[in-house]
Amino acid sequence: IFFNIFFQLRIGFGMEKQFGRRKFCLMYLFCGFLGNLLSVVANPFKLAVGASTSGFGLLGVWAAEVLLTWELLGTSRSRLLMWFAFMLSSCVMMSTLSPSVDFMGHFGGALAGFLLAIILADMQEEHRPSWYGRAKASAKSTAAILILAGLLKAITLGPDGPVPFCGSLFSPRVLPF
């Protein structure tokens, strides 16, 4: 819990200031939604919920910002790569050391942040890389496919439905009492 709080405060305040409260809340909630959705799709019998998927989403947003502004970073690239490698390795280490930590949820949150940051990016025309338009279109398509396929699997095609032992949308399980 301490690591989640530290991580989200360390990165979250700066991003909220940079993007504004509304856009930051949209990114934070979307990362949590998609991260937890991918976690349910990967293992519907694992009970794992929490805000750490949103925290990893902030890391994904940061990765997208670095990718989009790579040419503008100049000499600070090496320092930024070291910091990013430290953050990524510590997050992966924390995710893999404990069996109760949901690695797929964390990965899904980071992927959601990466995709949404590219979708919401609003770079000035002169600073845009040549592949900017293609990246935005690919991010939109990938996010839509992940959401639709994830919801389809979680709601209709899950092993017992969206919640284990509760049935599915088309055949709800009757309670024994």
Residues annotated as part of the active site? 52, 106
Residue 14, token pair as written in the block: 């700066």
- Residue 31 and residue 113 in contact, taking contact as beta carbons nearer than 8 Å: yes
Report how far residue 124's alpha carbon sits from residue 68's, in angstroms, rounded to the nearest whole number: 11
- CB neighbourhood size of 20 (10 A): 11
Q: Residue type at 32? A: G
- Residue 155 and residue 166 in contact, taking contact as beta carbons nearer than 8 Å: no
What one-character-per-residue DSSP string does 85-126 give?
HHHHHHHHHHHHH-TTS-HHHHHHHHHHHHHHHHHH----GG
